[in-house]
Amino acid sequence: MVASRELPSEGVIKVWARLLRAQRVALTGVEADLKTAGVPPLAWYDVLFELKKAGEGGLRPVELEGRLLLEQHNISRLVDRLVVAGHVHRRPCPTDRRGQVLTLTETGRKILRTMWPVYAGAIQRHVGSKIGTDEDVRALSLLLERLMSTRER
């Protein structure tokens, strides 16, 4: 892979530094807002939201892994905590006896409803209010999407 031996330009290095820093600033701000409001942390929202999107059929841990980009052991323990808290139901998978199927419980659904207004306000406060026009929002969205892609340009 030739490109991997190239050195980054000054501009790229700056983008890297700012990506780390902007994310950290925004994330710690949002997490702090959640904590202040007395609701669970972001990771819980992520799991619950994926399960809600998945609907009736629920999701298997291995599917969560792919969607949240978390390691297998982290999913395993995160789900543990959510099960203990009563927000997620875990039952054996009918088609694969190694696996399990996760679904939302009623309290899980309730947590999502409780968290969203807080979360949305935090996103607006720590991200939305910092960016300018809709056009800037679109531009940033597009550029960030490229960063996530696996292919080079």
Q: Where does this chain bind DNA (CB under 7 A)?
A: 28, 35, 41, 43, 60-62, 65, 70-74, 76-81, 90, 93, 96-100
Site for its own copies in 43-72 (CB under 8 A): 69
CB of 26 vs its own copies, minimal distance in Å? 6
Residue 15 binds to its own copies (criterion: CB under 8 A)? yes
One DSSP character per residue, the chain reads: --GGGSPPPHHHHHHHHHHHHHHHHHHHHHHHHHHHHT---HHHHHHHHHHHHHGGG-B-HHHHHHHHT--HHHHHHHHHHHHHTTSEEEEE-SS-TT-EEEEE-HHHHHHHHHHHHHHHHHHHHHTGGGS-SHHHHHHHHHHHHHHH-SS--
The dihedral formed by the CA atoms of 131, 119, 72 and 92, expressed in degrees to the nearest 10: -140
- Which residue number, 14 or 91, has a Cβ lying nearer to its own copies? 14
Residue 95 binds to its own copies (criterion: CB under 8 A)? no
Residue 12 binds to its own copies (criterion: CB under 8 A)? yes
Instruction: Find the binder of its own copies among 16, 55, 77, 96 (CB under 8 A).
Output: 16
89 binds, among DNA, its own copies, none (CB under 5 to 8 A by kind): none
- Residues near its own copies, by CB under 8 A: 1, 3-9, 11-16, 18-28, 69, 120-121, 123-125, 127-132, 134, 136-141, 143-149, 152-153
